[in-house]
């Protein structure tokens, strides 16, 4: 479930540039804000790679128990890495005023990866030690919890890495200049297109499109809002190209 409204109210917490202006519309959503078709194809390829890698790694073990533990552990470890690459989500928070609009977005995975790795290492290490006592050939399995613990420590000690991994962004939208509104109901998306100058001097106007992600049950309310406040904008429904 990628389009789930976060329980925490982020709207009031964001560092809005135009906080002095009264908000006439705001919402937040957790979404996969990229081309999910390409991402899903990549995941299928990586899934096969994970299966092959897990099968080959199982030959490291000596007994049937060690083979199953190493192969299964390798598959789980690799599939989690694959999903972190292809199924990332972002939290997007929108705030519209009569004159301006802003959107803050970031990837929340970083906030949960560190504690997951930390507690996984803490829980798995005693289990691995018991298995090693039962079968010394399983000594190599201790590398898994140790690697998780080391990765959690690195994430906690590097502020620059945290900011990069979270992918935090803050954008402003000249939504009152919107000339074209396009809606893609399949993904509950709205695209606002208007003319803008990338530079104040020596540059010409060019079209700029902002993609807005909505909850399916709120999409019609968002459409009605833009129709009312942008009566002169052309309205269209259809597939929206996502980079």
* Residue 100 clears pLDDT 60, i.e. is over it: yes
Residues forming a β-bridge with 16: none
pLDDT tens digits, 109-129: 666 666 666 666 677 677 767
3-state secondary structure of 72: helix
Query: What structural domains does the chain harbor?
Result: 1-32+92-107+173-243 (2.30.29), 34-91+108-169 (no CATH)
Closest-CA residue to 93 (of 171, 146, 36, 148):
171
Report the pLDDT value the prediction gives residue 3, as an integer from 0 to 100: 42
- The b/e string for 201-237 (b: 16+ C-beta within 10 A; e otherwise) is eeeeeeeeebbbbbbeeebeebbeebeeebeebeeee
Q: Report the alpha-carbon distance of residue 136 to residue 218 in Å, rounded.
A: 58
Per residue in 56-99, pLDDT (tens digit) is: 878 876 778 778 888 888 888 888 878 877 888 889 999 999 99
């Amino acid at each position: 479930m990628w389009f789930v409204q976060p329980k925490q109210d982020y709207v009031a917490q964001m560092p809005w540039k135009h906080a002095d202006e009264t908000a006439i519309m705001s919402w937040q959503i957790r979404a996969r804000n990229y081309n999910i078709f390409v991402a899903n194809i990549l995941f299928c390829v990586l899934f096969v790679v994970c299966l092959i890698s897990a099968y080959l790694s199982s030959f490291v073990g000596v007994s049937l128990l060690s083979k199953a533990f190493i192969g299964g552990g390798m598959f789980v470890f690799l599939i989690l890495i694959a999903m972190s690459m292809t199924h990332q989500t972002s939290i997007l928070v929108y705030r519209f005023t009569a004159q301006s609009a802003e959107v803050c977005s970031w990837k929340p995975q970083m906030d949960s990866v560190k504690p997951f790795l930390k507690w996984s290492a803490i829980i798995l290490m005693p289990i691995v030690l018991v298995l090693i006592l039962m079968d010394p050939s399983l000594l190599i399995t201790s590398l898994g919890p140790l690697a998780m613990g080391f990765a959690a420590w690195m994430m906690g000690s590097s502020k620059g890495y945290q900011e990069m991994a979270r992918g935090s962004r803050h954008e402003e939208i000249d939504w009152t200049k919107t000339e074209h509104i396009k809606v893609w109901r399949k993904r509950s998306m709205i695209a606002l297109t208007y003319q803008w100058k990338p530079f104040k001097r020596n540059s010409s106007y060019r079209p700029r499109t902002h993609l807005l992600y909505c909850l399916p049950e709120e999409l019609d309310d968002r459409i009605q809002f833009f129709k009312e406040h942008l009566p002169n904008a052309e309205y269209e429904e259809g597939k929206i190209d996502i980079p």
